[in-house]
């Protein structure tokens, strides 16, 4: 059959065409390599963007209308942090402080939903005042005995409406309001007045964190020093500083990258295997290329070109797979709206770089082997 | 020693001297246990068509591989187109610009078209697309496969494949064409045709040819015939004088 496509114009493109011809001849083998890389890409994209989304949501919970966060020094997780009412009062009395909003975190279970985040807040907390109230009134928050306020998503998965009873943990509450927020954790969580939450979690007089709004944000450094001096048991950080240093965020980031890189290592081994098979099955052909004047470098470039082509195809397929997985997870009712994927350009760049590096690393040995093929020997024995 | 001159391809050549000079060429395999070449002396003048004639295993292919830099001698001196094929850089330059190879099996790359296969040496050499295309058209027309350019190798006949292989060998206008049993896999009629084409093309273009063959009828049609036996050149001459 005559070929419908002519040989491309430039030397580079003609080399590239040779790369694609080689891949086309061994479609299944090439597809296995592409699959290895694409699964790595999809895994990394999914995990990283979910982790980034979760961190972003948590950051927004902490940073609503505030400049700094104050919490117990040397605590591994904010859920275990204790800031006393007395310390909150001291913070409120500081000249630099405009507002101090204590917030108590807790986890509760409901039938069918083992983990629901509970926020103990005061009535004037900005997250309540700024939320979109679907049912009930913000001014009633904390005034209805036995009442609980639900995030929009939580009301949905609990299947309750305003005024209905709902079983939360060991108690039964009346739905006193439903507020919708853009934050997945808040929207899938429940709100209690701070004193009620403290009682519920047996942490009377305690908040997990205090969100501080300063009169002048430029004086944040001064505020941090004052807290360090006057309240040595507490640690104050600017929001940005907190996001960068919070151990849990670092652990999440590290875990996500570690899992992703492991997935890539498997992909890289797949590429190495694909390229080795490709080289071993083409020893005679590579010898012919050498006979025709290809240098060892040109032969290596062909092998690396094939690996790069596999990685590129893997990237495209992987991003599509990962995107589809994120869409499905983001819309799955089981996740209660907690999956809010955030895809950052740096993350995409990192995935692309990791993918290419892995694939090219996987091609090092095959390329080295191919470039060392002795034409006479290969032509004599194969 | 004759004067060395650089030609347009960057190689040196003795003015009026031989294109290939080999002295005491030895080659063994299996850690020296199998001696394939046992001290071969060889001179090939520019424009000559020389046959290495001998039985299978006599060492003619190995000698051809040494001349083409596909293998290196264990001992002896060798100069091809003014270069030393034992040197890696010289070997690449030789194969890229000065030598053409034709093998018993065509060794064309499957799944590529005839045109794509013929482009491979030009690709290695960095020849422009236009020049490559012009050269392909000229060569394929001259061997009667101009209509097969867009066909894949598996879709053309054995004789056409070997013609394509000859064209590929001539793509970069080599000074020296090394042909290892180029008719060995063809039927008698096709073999005659292919050999005739090879010989005529070489004569028309002034290409020096060293041909390894076990078929005396083809060896006799060359300018000179060297009989290779047990790793040595035992006799030389024209036609039946060897």
Residues A266 and A373 in one domain: yes
Q: What is the pLDDT of residue B208?
A: 93
Residues A170 and A258 in one domain: no
Residues A20 and A87 in one domain: no
Give me the number of domains chain B comprises.
1
Q: Quote the domain boundaries for residue B214.
A: 46-69+85-241
What percent of chain A is modeled with pLDDT above 70? 92
Q: Residue B168 belongs to a domain with what CATH number? A: 3.40.50.300
Residue A64 domain-assigned? no
**Average pLDDT estimate for A258-263:** 81
Contact B107 A1 (CB under 8 A): no
CB-nearest to A376 from B70, B111, B125 is B70
**Average pLDDT estimate for A210-232:** 92
Per CB-CB distance under 8 Å, the chain B contacts of A20 are none
Residues A279 and A326 in one domain: yes
- Using DSSP's 3-state secondary structure scheme, residue B161 falls into helix
Q: What is the pLDDT of residue A32?
A: 86
Query: What is the C-alpha separation between A151 and A118, in angstroms, rounded?
Result: 10
Q: Which residue of A has its CA nearest to B98?
A: A293
Per CB-CB distance under 8 Å, the chain A contacts of B109 are 21, 285, 288
Query: What is the C-alpha separation between A288 and B70, in angstroms, rounded?
Result: 10
**Average pLDDT estimate for A354-367:** 87
Residues A37 and A88 in one domain: no
Contact by Cβ (8 Å): A181, A338? no
Which parts of chain B sit beneath pLDDT 50?
Answer: 1-16, 240-242
Q: Looking at the complex, does the CB of residue B131 fall below 8 Å from at least one CB of chain A? A: no
Q: Which of B168, B139, B179, B162 is nearest to B49 (CA)?
A: B179
Q: What is the mean pLDDT of chain A?
A: 85
Contact B95 A291 (CB under 8 A): yes
**Average pLDDT estimate for A230-251:** 81
Q: What is the pLDDT of residue A10?
A: 54
Residue pairs between chains A and B whose CB atoms are closer than 8 Å: 86
- Residues A114-157 have pLDDT tens digits of 788 899 999 988 888 888 999 999 889 988 888 999 999 889 88
Phi-psi group of A110: left, alpha or beta (phi > 0 → left; psi -120 to 50 → alpha; rest → beta): beta
User: Which residues have CB under 8 Å from B181's CB, separation 6+?
Assistant: B61, B103, B104, B212, B213, B214
Phi, psi values for residue A251, rounded to 5°: -65, -45
What the block records as the tokens of B103 is 């093998």
Q: Which of A253, A327, A266 is nearest to A48 (CA)?
A: A253
User: Which residues have CB under 8 Å from A282's CB, separation 6+?
Assistant: A22
Q: What is the pLDDT of residue A312?
A: 92
Query: What is the C-alpha separation between B41 and A344, in angstroms, rounded?
Result: 70
The alpha carbon of residue A228 and the mean position of all alpha carbons in its chain are separated, in whole angstroms, by 32
**Sign of torsion, CA A312 A316 A322 A323?**
positive
Q: Residue A251: which pLDDT band, with cuts at 50, 70 and 90?
A: confident
Interface of A with B in 131-150 (CB under 8 A): none
Q: What is the pLDDT of residue A378?
A: 80
Question: In a mutagenesis test of the A interface, which of B34, B93, B113 is the best target, namely the one with the most A β-carbons within 10 Å?
Answer: B113
Query: What is the C-alpha separation between A184 and A195, in angstroms, rounded?
Result: 24
Which residue among A203, A232, A261 closes a domain?
A232
Contact A7 B119 (CB under 8 A): yes
Q: What is the pLDDT of residue A74?
A: 83
Per CB-CB distance under 8 Å, the chain A contacts of B168 are 292
Residues A304 and A274 in one domain: yes
Q: What is the pLDDT of residue B156?
A: 93
Residue scoring higher pLDDT (A233 or B10)? A233
Q: Which of A355, A366, A350, A326 is nearest to A264 (CA)?
A: A355
Please give, rounded to a whole number of angstroms, the shortest distance from the CA of A294 to a CA of chain B: 5
Residue B158 domain-assigned? yes
Give me the number of domains chain A comprises.
2
- Residues B199-229 have pLDDT tens digits of 888 888 889 999 999 888 889 889 999 999 9
Contact A7 B129 (CB under 8 A): yes
Q: What is the pLDDT of residue A12?
A: 66
**Sign of torsion, CA A193 A197 A200 A205?**
negative
ipTM: 0.83
Residues A255 and A199 in one domain: no
Residue scoring higher pLDDT (A254 or A176)? A176
Q: Residue A174: which pLDDT band, with cuts at 50, 70 and 90?
A: very high
- Using DSSP's 3-state secondary structure scheme, residue B148 falls into helix
Q: What is the pLDDT of residue A53?
A: 83
Q: What is the pLDDT of residue A336?
A: 61
Per CB-CB distance under 8 Å, the chain B contacts of A25 are 110-111
Residue A315 domain-assigned? yes
Q: What is the pLDDT of residue A381?
A: 57
Q: Looking at the complex, does the CB of residue A24 fall below 8 Å from at least one CB of chain B? A: yes
Q: Which residue of B has its CA nearest to A301?
A: B124
Q: Quote the domain boundaries for residue A338.
A: 11-57+250-381
Residues A203 and A272 in one domain: no
Residue A147 domain-assigned? yes
Please give, rounded to a whole number of angstroms, the shortest distance from the CA of B241 to a CA of chain A: 31
Question: In a mutagenesis test of the B interface, which of A16, A29, A291 is the best target, namely the one with the most B β-carbons within 10 Å?
Answer: A291
Residue B207 domain-assigned? yes
Please give, rounded to a whole number of angstroms, the shortest distance from the CA of B187 to a CA of chain A: 22
Contact A291 B101 (CB under 8 A): yes
Residue A322 domain-assigned? yes
Residues A280 and A203 in one domain: no
Per CB-CB distance under 8 Å, the chain A contacts of B108 are 288
Question: In a mutagenesis test of the A interface, which of B28, B88, B112 is the best target, namely the one with the most A β-carbons within 10 Å?
Answer: B112
Residue B110 domain-assigned? yes
Q: Which of A182, A203, A175, A56 is nearest to A110 (CA)?
A: A175
Question: How do the residues of chain B divide into helix, strand and coil, expressed in percent and rounded to 5?
Answer: 35, 30, 35
**Average pLDDT estimate for A78-106:** 92
Which residue among A202, A232, A262 closes a domain?
A232
Phi, psi values for residue A195, rounded to 5°: -65, -35
Residues A199 and A268 in one domain: no
Q: What is the pLDDT of residue A7?
A: 45
Residues A187 and A321 in one domain: no
Residue B24 domain-assigned? no
Query: What is the C-alpha separation between A196 and B208, in angstroms, rounded?
Result: 101
**Average pLDDT estimate for A286-291:** 89
Which residues pair with residue A162 across a beta bridge?
none
Contact by Cβ (8 Å): B21, B194? no
CB-nearest to A21 from B92, B112, B151 is B112
Q: What is the pLDDT of residue B97?
A: 86
Q: What is the pLDDT of residue A79?
A: 83
């Amino acid at each position: 059959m005559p070929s419908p496509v002519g040989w491309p114009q430039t030397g580079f493109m003609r080399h590239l065409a040779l790369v694609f011809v080689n891949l086309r001849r061994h479609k299944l083998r090439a597809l296995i390599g592409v699959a290895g890389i694409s699964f790595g890409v999809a895994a990394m994209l999914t995990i990283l963007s979910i982790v980034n989304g979760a961190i972003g949501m948590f950051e927004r919970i902490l940073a609503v209308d505030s400049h700094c966060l104050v919490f117990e020094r040397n605590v591994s997780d904010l859920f275990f942090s204790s800031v006393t009412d007395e310390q909150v009062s001291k913070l409120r009395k500081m000249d630099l402080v405009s507002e101090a909003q204590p917030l108590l975190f807790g986890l509760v279970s409901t039938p069918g939903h083992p983990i629901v985040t509970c926020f103990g807040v005061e009535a004037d907390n900005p997250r309540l005042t700024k939320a979109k109230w679907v049912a009930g009134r913000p001014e009633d928050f904390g005034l209805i005995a036995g009442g609980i306020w639900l995030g929009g998503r939580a009301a949905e998965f609990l299947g309750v409406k305003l005024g209905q009873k709902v079983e939360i943990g060991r108690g039964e509450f009346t739905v006193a309001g439903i507020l919708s927020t853009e934050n997945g954790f808040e929207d899938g969580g429940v709100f209690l007045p701070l004193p009620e939450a403290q009682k519920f979690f047996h942490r009377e007089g305690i908040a997990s964190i205090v969100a501080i709004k300063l009169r002048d944000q430029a004086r944040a450094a001064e505020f941090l020093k004052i807290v360090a001096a006057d309240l040595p048991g507490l640690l104050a950080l600017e929001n940005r500083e907190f996001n960068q240093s919070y151990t849990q965020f670092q652990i999440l980031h590290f875990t996500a990258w570690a899992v992703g890189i492991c997935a890539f290592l498997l992909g890289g081994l797949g590429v190495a295997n694909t390229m080795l098979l490709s080289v071993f099955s083409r020893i005679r052909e590579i010898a012919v290329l050498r006979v025709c004047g290809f240098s060892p470098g040109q032969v290596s470039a062909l092998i690396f070109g094939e690996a790069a082509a596999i990685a590129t195809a893997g990237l495209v397929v992987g991003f599509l797979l990962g995107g589809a997985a994120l869409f499905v997870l983001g819309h799955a009712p089981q996740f209660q709206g907690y999956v809010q994927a955030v895809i950052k350009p740096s993350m995409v760049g990192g995935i692309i770089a990791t993918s290419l590096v892995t694939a090219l690393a996987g091609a090092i040995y095959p390329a080295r082997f191919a470039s060392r093929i002795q034409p006479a020997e290969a032509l004599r024995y194969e | 020693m004759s004067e060395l001159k650089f030609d347009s391809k960057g190689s040196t050549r003795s003015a009026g001297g031989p294109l290939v000079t080999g002295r005491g060429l030895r080659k063994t395999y299996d850690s020296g246990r199998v001696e394939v070449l046992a001290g071969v002396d060889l001179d090939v003048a520019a424009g000559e068509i020389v046959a290495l004639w001998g039985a299978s295993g006599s060492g003619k292919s190995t000698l051809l591989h040494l001349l083409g830099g596909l293998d290196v001698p264990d001992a002896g001196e060798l100069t091809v187109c003014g270069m030393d094929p034992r040197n890696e850089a010289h070997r690449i330059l030789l194969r890229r610009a000065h030598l053409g190879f034709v093998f018993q099996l065509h060794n064309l790359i499957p799944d590529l078209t005839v045109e794509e296969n013929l482009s491979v040496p030009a690709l290695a050499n960095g020849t422009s697309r236009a020049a490559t295309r012009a050269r392909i058209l000229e060569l394929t027309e001259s061997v009667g496969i101009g209509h097969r350019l867009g066909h894949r190798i598996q879709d053309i006949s054995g004789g056409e494949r070997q013609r394509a292989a000859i064209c590929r060998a001539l793509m970069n206008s080599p000074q020296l064409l090394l042909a290892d049993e180029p008719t060995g896999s063809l039927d008698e009629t096709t073999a005659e045709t292919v050999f005739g084409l090879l010989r005529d093309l070489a004569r028309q273009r002034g290409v020096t040819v060293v041909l390894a063959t076990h078929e005396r009828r083809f060896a006799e049609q060359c300018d000179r015939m060297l009989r290779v036996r047990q790793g040595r050149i035992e006799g030389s001459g024209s036609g039946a004088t060897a």
